[in-house]
């Protein structure tokens, strides 16, 4: 028998898509068989012949999360632009985003005409509250807090600063469906929040997103942002038309995706029970670390539990650990080097760092209503780059077992003792 710590094959797979089975197939087949003549979320006969898949899904989303309003959309990026529009954020405004997030968080800000400002992360791998406060200017209108890899970021600390400066707080929970903070689903105490249900996420509909808010006025504006024909559709959505309808984007969710996501939503708790259990087993199998510290998790109870990040004491140690772990059969480079160039790290967001605009007029940075002077550079957030180069991450999935995670812990313990 091999003396490597990893003896059992490591199953691969994204969470939601790995949980797919006949139930999703049936949901789509039934939709096509029964509804092929009206596979559209808004219906002339709404209320008479029953609700659309999107209507059913949104009802289930509200019931599950406790949110007052939910709108199913074509993407998570679209959900973020609805969240921003819902608070009238646009040209002239700055929005602070973390240096470690999918580029879409910053792109949604640009999409509504506002300017993204990039703040450092800390050992939570979420936004650093101190740097957030430093980045506030007279033009700042909002902050987007991102929960990467299902781990809740420092919600209370960020909220206290946002309140102090009268800023709108939006949470990007695209990677954190099902994550909680102090007992509530992440986002619930913020002005608006977003999920993505693209292929890589906790649950998936292939592509998709959800815009959530507890504010009735904001919801109306978010709905108008999502569909330029909104004022002309008959809908079950609580639209009072008090907000003057405006014509904007085309972000409607599809009935096929909604049918799939209804099934996936039913599976969410089962998926997270498994990943949370595996993470607990892994953590309890670790010896006291010498060369690393674990990622700081502000609310471990609310963590989705599918990622465990070891932050080495310095970059050389991270490199050494990574090499030794590979010899044990566990291939994990630093987060910085994973899938290089990683679209989740600001220094690779070339279109933003270089202020590349879709128009010769240089929108949104040269928009006449923008009076700020944000500057970007690849080395503007050195702490973020340092932390990500020291961060080694194990990602769990629903096909893994206790045996897998105990072997992961064996590998980490063995390597940590060797250095
Ligand atoms: C996936 C993701 C998005 C965007 O979602 P899409 O559905 O791909 O548009 C936004 N923010 C974060 C943090 C994400 O991981």
Determine the pLDDT at residue 275: 98
Phi and psi at 329, nearest 5°, equal: 95, 10
**For residue 1, pLDDT beyond 60:** no
Q: d(Cα 265, Cα 57) in Å, to the nearest integer?
A: 9
Mean pLDDT to the nearest integer, 99-112: 98
Alpha-helical segments (H) within 285-399: 315-327, 350-353, 382-390
Q: d(Cα 136, Cα 271) in Å, to the nearest integer?
A: 38
Mean pLDDT to the nearest integer, 170-182: 98
Does residue 131 contact residue 105 with C-beta atoms inside 8 Å?
no
Determine the pLDDT at residue 38: 84
Give catalytic residue positions.
201
Q: If you measure from the C-alpha of residue 45 to the centroid of ligand 1, how many angstroms do you get, rounded to a whole number?
A: 34
Determine the pLDDT at residue 303: 98
Which CATH number is 23-265's, of 3.40.640.10, 3.40.50.11440, 3.30.470.10, 3.40.50.720? 3.40.640.10
CA-nearest residue for atom 6, ligand 1, is 76
Neighbours of 358 (CB within 10 A): 11
Query: To test the ligand 1 pocket, which listed residue (72, 109, 198) has its Cβ within 8 A of the most ligand atoms?
Result: 198
CA-nearest residue for atom 2, ligand 1, is 174
Beta-carbon contacts of residue 50 (< 8 Å; ≥ 6 apart): none
Atom of ligand 1 nearest to the CA of 209: 7
Q: Is the CB of 257 under 6 A from ligand 1?
A: no
Least confident segment among 5-9, 64-68, 227-231: 227-231
Mean pLDDT to the nearest integer, 287-315: 98
Token readout for 214 is 């507890």
Does residue 209 contact residue 194 with C-beta atoms inside 8 Å?
yes
Token readout for 101 is 């997030």
Alpha-helical segments (H) within 212-254: 216-226
Does residue 82 contact residue 211 with C-beta atoms inside 8 Å?
yes
**For residue 2, pLDDT beyond 80:** no
In angstroms and rounded to an integer, the radius of gyration of the C-alpha atoms of the chain is 22
Q: If you measure from the C-alpha of residue 128 to the centroid of ligand 1, how many angstroms do you get, rounded to a whole number?
A: 20
**Per-residue pLDDT reduced to its tens digit, 375-400:** 999 999 999 999 999 999 999 999 99
Q: If you measure from the C-alpha of residue 80 to the centroid of ligand 1, how many angstroms do you get, rounded to a whole number?
A: 9
| Residue listed under structure tokens 């632009």 | 81
Question: What percentage of the chain reaches a pLDDT higher than 70?
Answer: 97
**Per-residue pLDDT reduced to its tens digit, 20-39:** 999 999 999 999 999 888 89
| Structural domain boundaries in the chain | 23-265, 266-339+384-418
Q: If you measure from the C-alpha of residue 362 to the centroid of ligand 1, how many angstroms do you get, rounded to a whole number?
A: 25
Q: If you measure from the C-alpha of residue 198 to the centroid of ligand 1, how many angstroms do you get, rounded to a whole number?
A: 8
Nearest to 277 by CA among 406, 184, 148: 406
Q: d(Cα 215, Cα 192) in Å, to the nearest integer?
A: 8
Least confident segment among 17-26, 32-41, 145-154, 207-216: 32-41
Determine the pLDDT at residue 346: 96
Determine the pLDDT at residue 240: 75
Q: What confidence tier does 242 reach under pLDDT thresholds 50, 70, 90?
A: confident
Q: Is the CB of 172 under 6 A from ligand 1?
A: yes
Least confident segment among 36-40, 52-56, 126-130, 181-185: 36-40
Q: What confidence tier does 140 reach under pLDDT thresholds 50, 70, 90?
A: very high
Determine the pLDDT at residue 237: 83
Atom of ligand 1 nearest to the CA of 148: 13
Q: d(Cα 41, Cα 256) in Å, to the nearest integer?
A: 10
Determine the pLDDT at residue 336: 87
CA-nearest residue for atom 5, ligand 1, is 76
Q: d(Cα 365, Cα 356) in Å, to the nearest integer?
A: 9
**For residue 47, pLDDT beyond 70:** no
Which CATH number is 266-339+384-418's, of 3.30.70.1350, 3.60.21.10, 1.20.1090.10, 3.90.1150.10? 3.90.1150.10
Q: d(Cα 56, Cα 257) in Å, to the nearest integer?
A: 12
Q: d(Cα 114, Cα 117) in Å, to the nearest integer?
A: 10
Q: Is the CB of 76 under 6 A from ligand 1?
A: yes
Query: To test the ligand 1 pocket, which listed residue (175, 199, 257, 261) has its Cβ within 8 A of the most ligand atoms?
Result: 175
The secondary structure element, H or E, covering residue 277 is helix 255-284
Q: If you measure from the C-alpha of residue 310 to the centroid of ligand 1, how many angstroms do you get, rounded to a whole number?
A: 24
Atom of ligand 1 nearest to the CA of 201: 1
Q: Is the CB of 124 under 6 A from ligand 1?
A: no
Least confident segment among 43-52, 137-146, 235-244, 352-361: 43-52
**For residue 136, pLDDT beyond 80:** yes
3-state secondary structure of 366: coil
Question: What percentage of the chain reaches a pLDDT higher than 90?
Answer: 87
Query: To test the ligand 1 pocket, which listed residue (76, 98, 195) has its Cβ within 8 A of the most ligand atoms?
Result: 76
Per the DSSP assignment, residues forming a β-bridge with 119 are 98
Q: Is the CB of 222 under 6 A from ligand 1?
A: no
**For residue 137, pLDDT beyond 60:** yes
Q: What confidence tier does 339 reach under pLDDT thresholds 50, 70, 90?
A: low
């Amino acid at each position: 028998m091999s003396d490597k710590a990893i003896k059992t094959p490591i199953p691969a797979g994204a969470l939601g898509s790995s949980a797919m089975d006949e139930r999703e197939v049936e949901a789509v087949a039934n939709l096509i068989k029964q509804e092929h003549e009206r596979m559209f979320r808004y219906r002339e006969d709404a209320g008479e012949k029953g609700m659309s898949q999107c209507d059913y899904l949104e009802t289930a989303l509200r019931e599950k999360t406790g949110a007052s309003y939910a709108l199913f959309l074509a993407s998570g990026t679209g959900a973020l632009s609805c969240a921003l529009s819902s608070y009238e954020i646009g040209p002239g405004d700055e929005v602070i985003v973390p240096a470690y997030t999918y580029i879409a968080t910053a792109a949604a800000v640009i999409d509504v005409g506002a300017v993204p400002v990039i703040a450092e992360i800390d050992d939570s791998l979420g936004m650093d509250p101190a740097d957030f406060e430093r980045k506030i200017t007279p033009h700042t209108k909002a902050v987007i807090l991102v929960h990467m890899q299902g781990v809740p970021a420092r919600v209370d600390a960020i909220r206290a600063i946002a309140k102090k400066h009268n800023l709108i707080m939006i949470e990007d929970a695209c990677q954190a469906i099902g994550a909680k903070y102090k007992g509530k689903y992440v986002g619930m105490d913020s002005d608006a929040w977003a999920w993505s249900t693209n292929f890589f996420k906790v649950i998936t509909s292939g592509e998709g997103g959800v815009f959530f808010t507890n504010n009735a006025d904001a919801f109306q504006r978010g709905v108008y942002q999502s569909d330029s024909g909104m004022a002309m559709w008959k809908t079950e959505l609580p639209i009072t038309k008090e907000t003057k309808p405006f014509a904007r984007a085309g972000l409607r969710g599809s009935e096929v995706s909604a049918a799939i996501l209804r099934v996936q939503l039913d599976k969410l708790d089962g998926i997270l029970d498994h990943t949370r259990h595996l993470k607990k087993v892994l953590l309890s199998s670790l010896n006291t670390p010498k060369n690393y510290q674990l990622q700081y998790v502000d609310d471990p109870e609310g963590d989705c539990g599918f990622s465990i990040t070891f932050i080495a004491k310095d970059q050389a140690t991270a490199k050494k650990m990574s090499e030794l772990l590979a010899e044990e059969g566990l291939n994990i480079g630093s987060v910085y080097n994973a899938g290089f160039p990683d679209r989740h790290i600001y220094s690779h967001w070339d279109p933003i760092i270089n202020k590349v605009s879709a128009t010769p007029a240089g929108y949104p940075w040269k928009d006449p209503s923008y009076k700020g002077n944000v500057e970007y550079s690849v080395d503007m957030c050195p702490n973020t780059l340092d932390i990500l180069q020291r961060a080694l991450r194990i990602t769990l999935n629903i096909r893994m077992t206790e045996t897998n995670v105990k072997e992961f812990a064996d590998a980490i313990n063995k390597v940590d003792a060797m250095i």
